[in-house]
Amino acid sequence: MIQSEKPHYRAILVEDELRTRHMLEEMIEQKIAVADVELIASCGTIQEATATFRSLRVRPDIVFLDINLPDGPVFDLLEAIKPVDFEIIFITAYDEYTRKACQYASIAYLNKPVSEEMLNEAVQRAAEYRGRHIQKRLHTMKKAATQSASTLPEKLALTTQEEIYFVAPQHIVRVEADGNYSKVIVKEGEDFRTIVLSQNLGRFEEALPSVGFFKTHRAHIVNLAHVKRYQRADATLLMEDGGEVLVSRRRKNQLLELLEGKHQF
């Protein structure tokens, strides 16, 4: 069997911490197995990165971009180097808030310290999303990053091989695990759409707001606003789309407290 060649991507790294920058330069050049990544420039500030972009004859495919740069907000850089016609992999110290914002917008990210596995996964995700609605996804990410942790993001970007769906979280009825994939059932007016994504349920557990969503067992997350009925006999939720979702024994009491506290008469 003839194996296909790895895809080739041109990349730029923007990272102000010198030690981290040198480490990432080496990792990008030597540790990426999923693609052939050519690092064409490495910068430490918005000013330096802006000058580098303006001098390029060929735009990069991927930019590794520190979310916290010393000379201004990262979105100032993206504004200065428009059009943003490349994928971005954000780099950040562990920050659940930033991580969730990236998840909302289907933008790849790296948490410091960066591992080889994390780097390969981020490049793979960036390759899958490449060229699809990046400006709209950045707008989604920016809005999510400026909201308080208790509020819902305006839209989540649900990315398939063919399309990116921008869906308000309150319209998500439930998310069902299907091996390494997830089925997202979305309410559209009086109808329901099923979107199949190549992401496991854990990613949705991280990205969806904790208020209003509940993981009933290892294979299902439901939006409590779309529950029609709870059947005590078999500990099952009947959802608005007609789906029946089993509730695990250890989660049943917690769920009942939420449901009865919200709709007690």
Q: What is the pLDDT of residues 230-251, one digit of tens each?
A: 999 999 999 999 999 999 988 8
Look up tokens 């950045």; give the residue. 138
pTM for the model = 0.64
Q: Specify the pLDDT at position 144.
A: 73
pLDDT given at position 70: 83
Tens digits of residue pLDDT in 8-61: 999 999 999 899 999 999 999 999 999 999 999 999 999 999 999 999 999 999
Of the chain, the percentage scoring pLDDT greater than 70 comes to 90
Name the DSSP class of 87.
E
Angle among Cα 156, 159, 160 to the nearest 5 degrees reads 150
E strands, the chain, are 8-14, 36-43, 62-66, 68-69, 72-73, 87-93, 108-112, 156-159, 164-167, 172-178, 181-188, 191-197, 213-217, 220-223, 227-231, 236-239, 244-246
Instruction: Domains for the chain: give ranges and CATH numbers.
Output: 8-146 (3.40.50.2300), 167-262 (2.40.50.1020)
**How many residues make up the chain in this entry?**
265
